């Protein structure tokens, strides 16, 4: 049995700590990551200018930041509003 991995295929900064996301299964929407910025690697992301520096990692299919922070694509998919 093959398990299909969740893949993030598009991401756009909205405001504060909110990002619009689109996944390969067609699901799309915005997420607010402010409540999830806990712990040493996420602490710098509380600064909006630092948070805005995310990029979509082509091989990991998720959001990553220059300081090494990232969220699992499955976590981001579960955070979509209305899902």
Residue-wise pLDDT tens digits, 51-80: 999 999 999 999 999 999 999 999 999 999
Cβ neighbours of residue 32 closer than 8 Å, sequence gap 6 or more: 16, 17, 18, 79
Q: What is the pLDDT averaged over residues 5-11?
A: 93
Q: Quick check: is 1 in a domain?
A: no
| Segments forming the whole domain that contains residue 66 | 8-79
Where residue 4 falls among pLDDT bands split at 50, 70, 90? confident
pLDDT at 81: 63
Q: Quick check: is 29 in a domain?
A: yes
E strands along 1-83, which residues? 8-15, 18-23, 28-32, 55-57, 62-64
Query: Structurally, how many domains does the chain consist of?
Result: 1
Q: Quick check: is 20 in a domain?
A: yes
Q: Quick check: is 23 in a domain?
A: yes
pLDDT at 2 over 70: no
Q: What is the pLDDT averaged over residues 29-50?
A: 97
Q: Quick check: is 2 in a domain?
A: no
Collapsing DSSP to helix, strand or coil, 49 comes out as helix
Q: Quick check: is 62 in a domain?
A: yes
Percent of the chain's residues with pLDDT above 70: 93
What is the CATH number for 36? Answer: 3.30.2020.10
Entry pTM:
0.89
Where residue 48 falls among pLDDT bands split at 50, 70, 90? very high
């Amino acid at each position: 049995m093959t398990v299909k991995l969740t893949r993030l295929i598009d991401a756009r900064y909205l405001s504060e700590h909110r990002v619009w996301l689109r996944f390969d299964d067609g699901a799309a929407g915005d997420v607010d990551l402010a409540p999830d910025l806990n712990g040493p690697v996420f602490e710098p992301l509380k600064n909006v200018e630092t948070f805005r520096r995310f990029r979509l990692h082509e091989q990991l299919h998720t959001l990553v930041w220059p300081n090494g922070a990232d969220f699992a694509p499955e976590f981001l998919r579960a955070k979509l509003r209305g899902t």
